Structures are given as C-alpha cells and as structure tokens.
Structure 1
Amino acid sequence: MVYPKSTRLIWLPAAISLALLFFNGCLEPRDEGPPTTTINNPPSGAVVHGQVPILVSAWDDKKVETIRLFVDGLEVTSGNSDNLNYLWNTDPIADNQDHHITAYAIDDDGNIGASAITTVRLFAPATGDPLPPVVAVQNPLDNQTVSGLVNIAVGVNNDVNNPIDSVAFYIDGVHKFRDTQFPYIYTWDTQNLVNGSQHTIFAIAYDRIGFNASSSVITVTISSAVIGNITPPVVQIANPINQQTVSGLVSVVTRVENIQYNPVDSVVFVIDGFRKFRDTSFPYIYEWDATNLPNGSRHTIFSVAYDREGFNVSSGVINVTVSSNVIPDVTPPTVNLVFPAPGANNIFSVSALNSITVVADAQDDMGVDSVAFYIDGIFKGSDNTPLYQYVWNFSGYATGIDHTIYVRAFDTSGNVGAAFLAVRLDP
C-alpha cells in the first residue's frame, strides 16, 4: 500500500522522535558527579618533621582518571589511579609555619573533586625541644623475599619526654593496622598473594605531642609456599614458652623444621620489635639479658629463619613477663602553672602587652626531664630548667575570646603530668 505524501509527512516527525529516543537510550548518560577525594595522611593539625608520607584516595562511581597533589598551591606530583602516595621531604623548609595540602581527583568525564584542605605545621627543633620519633621497619628487610605469615616489626626511637601514642602500618599505601602498645608488630598474611608480586611497606609513628614521623618505604617480593618439591622452613620459639615469667639471662631457643632439602642459612631473633642477633649455626640460640629490665614488664619475642632458596619465615610471636629487682617508676610528675595562675584575673590586653612569660613548676621523685608548653593545643616549645618558662607572643591570636595554656611535665622515666588554664585576650 502506498500512503499519500501528506500522510507520510505526518509520520516523519514521529519516526524521527522514536529514533532519537532509541538512540539516546543506547548512550550512557554523562557522569555529572565529581569524585570524592580524601587526604588520609597527614591529619589536619598535625606537627610534622622530616620525610612526611602524604596518602590520597579517591572514589568515583565510574572511574578516577587522575589525582593531582598540591602543597601550598604548587603541584608536587600526580598519578593515574585512585590512590596516590607521595613522600614529602620537609627538611629544606622546616620553618615552624603552617603549610596547606590539597588534592584534586578527575574522573573520565572531566569532573573534578577537591579534598578538604589539610593544614600541618613544619617543626624545626631548637635546643631543648623534644624531637619527633625516628621510625624504622626492623622486619622484614628491604628487597627481601617473604612468604606465609610475615611479622612486620617496627622499631621507634623516641625522645624520653615524648612518648609514642601509636604506630600505623601501611602496605601498598593502604592503612592496615594501628598498634597502640609497644612493641609495634603486625602479622601480615601473604598466603593468597601472587607469587613474584612486589609490595611496599612503611610505618608512621604518632607521639603524644602531636608529631608524626614515617619510616622509609621498603619493598618485598612474595614467594609461593611451595616451589617444586621445596617447602619453606617451619619456625618455632622452643624456649621460653608463651606467657612465661623469665629473669636474668634467658636462653631464647629457635627450632627450625622442614630443612632436609633446603638448609637454613641463618635465624634472626627479634625482641620488642628490634633485631637483636643473627645466628648462622645450629642450634639457634640467643642469650637475652633481662637482668636490668623493670619488674613486671612484658616483652615480645619472635624469630625469622632464612633458607638458601630465598625463603624467610617468621615464628609466631610469644609474650613473656620479666621478674627482676628493678622497680619501675610509674608515678607521673606534678605540674602547676605559676603564671598565669589559677584563680587570678587572667585577662590580658594586647594593646598594653605584646607577650607574657608563661611559668610552670614541676616536681618528681625521680627527677623532671622537661616541661612542654602548648597554646590552644599547639605545641610551642619546651624547657628543661626550673622554673620552666615559655614566652607567649600574642601576635596572630584573636582577641575577645579565651585561649588555653596547656603544660605537660615529663619525668626521666617518661611519665607525664599535665595542667591547663584558660586566659582571655582583649583588644
């Protein structure tokens, strides 16, 4: 049947509309939502020093194309994935000033998502100031081949007047575990990882003043549990046993099995996260001197066996308690603010005064090591000479509101006493 021309013209717009509807339905709608961008480390408000790992993650309902990282408005690096890790060397700056970190994620439709601004202060230590911790991954070692359950042990050397709050473990830039108790150990299960794959490990230590410091990044290679007919060794602590009480000179004995076709090269002994001794001959023994350790203190022990095929395997971690004549000092020092003093009319006019000298008194039966001063929660300085003082310059502080003076006294055993006081600054 042939329709009249006029009828065909009536149907033409309808046909075009149907075709357009079909065509548009086949097209994927444009992604109008920007990615979500987060700076996971450092936290805003942190006081940082040295090598600072900046960790950024981004999420998009389709695909994150690029992440760009800026410090103080200048781009420092970029990457083409949904995670970006950058080690920021602050040593050339170290100016005791605030710095701002921002990240931008771009999805494959060009939408841009900005992170919140992270503000950190770069610490330049002066004489007498508490120092940030120094962090190192003690086990495994860089470029090592690992398999099975791997005990990642982190050693932290910190100022005695600057106790550690926690240590965070990162594998491939992803936070895995935070340990709040010494020693700092995380057991990483590598059994389902791809043979020959490489992975990065680092740790960040956070202290109680507000510093955080990173270890160097190490790289390890995964070895499957079985290669041909060769299996990795089985490692156990034979002495002491878990939860045992020990004293004096302790023989730490490691037993290694499954070595008939794959001789052991050496055994490393790790106590409280620190490598103490490497034994290259059977029997594998380390004489640990616990004589001068505090009575009742708890410690962890594990061993790592290395064979001649490149395997290294950790034992399980055991815990022991020391019995000794050394009585630990657990009493914190007492600390009081002398000026400004509690109960006084602590209102200061910035037009009359540029600064005040904050004075604190601290006492301890074993001796005071130092006193740290904070204004509005930000560490400002420390003093190790009584009476303990800090000159607070009012420049840059808002008037018409209260500000908090906070002091922390540290004794020679690392115990901490604290006091605080609110004062008001007027015009």
Structure 2
Amino acid sequence: VSYYVNNVLQGYVLEPPYIFPWNTLLYLDDHYSIYVIVRDMSNNLTTVPPVNVIIDNNLQNDVTPPTGSIVSPPAGLTVSGSVDIIISASDNRAMDQVAFSIDGTYIISDDEAPYHYSWDTTLEEEDTEHTISVVLIDLAGNESPLNPISVFVDNDPAGDITPPIVLITNPVAGQDLTGTVSIEVLAEDDFGMDRVEFFINGDSVHTDTSDPFDYIWDTETVTDDMDHIIAVVGFDLDGNATLAPPIAVYVDNFDNIPPTGQIQNPVAGQTVTGTITIEISATDNIGVEHVNLSIDGIPRDTLTTFPYTYEWDTTSETDDEDHVISIIVSDSSDNITYVPPVSVFVNNIIDDITPPVASISNPLSGQTVSGTVSFTVQAVDDFGVDNVEFFIDGESIGTDDTESYQIEWDTTPLENDSQHTLSAYVTDNAGHTTIVQPILVTISN
C-alpha cells in the first residue's frame, strides 16, 4: 500500500495491518488530501478515493477572529434582479466559511474563496429596504459578524408615466414603394420597451418584441397605384404607449401608366415643302421604349433615342394634298399611347398666279437730278421676287436680284434741262412680270 498526501508519496506498508504513521507537525496548518494505491502480487493496482483533512496543531491557541468586509453591493444601492453579494475575508490561520443572511434569516454559507452569494431579489418584498448580514468563521470557530448593510429592492419601477419615443425611420413619407420593404422603427424608453405593433391602413399586421424593431412588408399584398398608411404603436414595460406619426407611401408594383407624347413640329394645318424635321416629345414615368412614326398610315421609322426626330422629304409625297403624321409611343412596360395625329399640306410645286407689286421709290417723279443717282425699286411678291430690270427712256440699263433692288445711274453724259423717263420690270419666281409705273425726271448737272 502506497500513501500519498497532496499527490506526494509519503511511504509504503508491505504487511498488514496497513497503517502508516503521519507526523502532521511537519506540515503547515491547512487543508490536505490523502489517498492510497493498493498493489497486489500480480501488480494490479487500485486507487482508494481520497479524503480531505485539515491540519491544525494549534487550534487551542487560535483566539483571533477573521476580518473582512462586504465588497458589493454598497450600502444604500437600489438593486433589482440577481445581485452578487461579494465578501472579502481573511484569517491569521485559515478561513472555514462565510455565512450569509437576508433580513436576519440565514440563507447559505460559502467555504471557498472568493466568498459570494448570488441573491435573487425578485423573491423579496418589492419597493422596500432589505438588510444583508454576513458572519466570518475561521477554522478555530472564531466568528466575526460584519457590519450589515441595507439596499433597496426595486424590480418593478413604480411611477413610470413617461411614454416611449417611437419614430418610423424607413420608409419616408411620400416614398414610392415596390416589392418587399423593411419598415424600420426607432423605439426607446427609460425603463425598457415591451413591444412595437405595426399597422397598414389601420389593420394590425405584426408585433415585434425585440430591438431592432422592424417588419418586412410585401407591398404586392395591397392595392397597387394607391397611397397606403403605415402606423406603429410602441409600448414600454409599464404599458405606456406612443403612436408614431403615421406616414403615407405610394405603392406602385406594376407600371400601368401609359406614356405621353406630342407632335411638336410641324403644326396642324401647316403648308410644308422640301425636307422638314418632324419633332416629337415623349415622356413616361418609368421610361420611353420607342416611338413609331407613320405618314398616311404607312410606318416610316421607329425612334428609340431622345431627341425623337425624323427628316421627312415631302417631295416624295403627292403634291397639293393633305398628309397625316401619326405616332405611337411605347414605354418599357408595353403601355402604349396613340398621340393625336397632325395633318399638313404638301405644296412643293408653287401655283403662283399673282404678279409682284412694285414702285419706283427713288428718284421721285418730277424730281431734278444730277450726278449719279440711286435708281431704286420697291418690290414684293407672295412667293418671292426673282429680279428687277431697270429702264431709262425705254432702254435697259441693268438688273438686280437682291433686295433692296437698285442700280446706280450716271446722269453726267446727259444734256442739262433734258427730261428722261425711268421705268422697271419686276419678275417673280413664277415668271410673272409687273411693269412699274414710269416717272419723269429733269437733268441739271
């Protein structure tokens, strides 16, 4: 039999009775663990479970009580829930245990440092003071009662009449929503939140009891293309409630709003010639996909990019007739809009039967002239003047095709006091000619 003290071999006993003398005077006063290992002739082993003993060779002389203090909680503290009562304790020899009492009633003892007791204050009378008492006991049985302390137990704070702060942080009022949306709420209270209830259009849809307070809302479960009201109510632990300012949001999961459009050029009833630019405005709440352009019901082009324009050669159309420009605007959701058509008159071959109107504006009839004179004709026509030919005494002296129509006439070769007749022919773009009323002038060089 092998004898061990605190895992250290002390000696062997080979024959019965198996008794081993242990001189405790060689050891300090303290706790010790003793165990033995028994070995048979075939070398099989058995370990005998240990026993714990205390060496105290001077018990009769230990009259010094232990010392210590209540470390936590401090006196006068308001406590709730589970509270750790922590004790500091020491002795000149060795501590045995620390005894805990609440309101004079013994509760428990702790014989291992650190000495403490987890006190469930919810089992005590509410809203009143309670006394914690502690007695320190050493191995010699000396006792030291510590100064008791009082604490106030308040597990259900009374008088909480302040409602919580509750605010919808997402989405924001007026926002357009589609698909699944997280409704997020800020909720705070001095003594803690109990729950937040979520409402859509006045109907309760969800209750959340933990922070962060939110609700995942599938907007496809409500009517599309409408405003919907989101409201939340927050409740604190005492039942005080706050209704957050409700917000209105617009649910638009399906684009059923058609685009808009207009033919901006040309305008209805306009007479057009040559190549003109057809200009179109087109808008949509989501986006314009394309604009289909037709003339007289025949598709001409599909316009896909802004600006939506088309160069139309009117000379390829039947002349002297009305022609209808029409467009269809399509958006990215296949909504279409038939824009009111525009009718225009194509007139590339001008039927001008009206001659121009003209008169000699300088010099004046009956005027006496000298030197070089600016012979000027004022001429206008519905479709344009082609040229003006100038005559002196029936003889042509030149033409001008640019407004203002004039030619410089040198009178110095002519005799003084002689009279001369000035006239002009004005021809328009259609070949019509107007003979201007002649005038008579006198030379005086």
Structures share a fold, TM > 0.5? no
TM-score by length of 1: 0.26
| TM-score, length-scaled by structure 2 | 0.25
Relative CO higher for 1 or 2, CA cutoff 8 Å, sep ≥ 6? 1
* Greater Cα radius of gyration, structure 1 or 2: 2
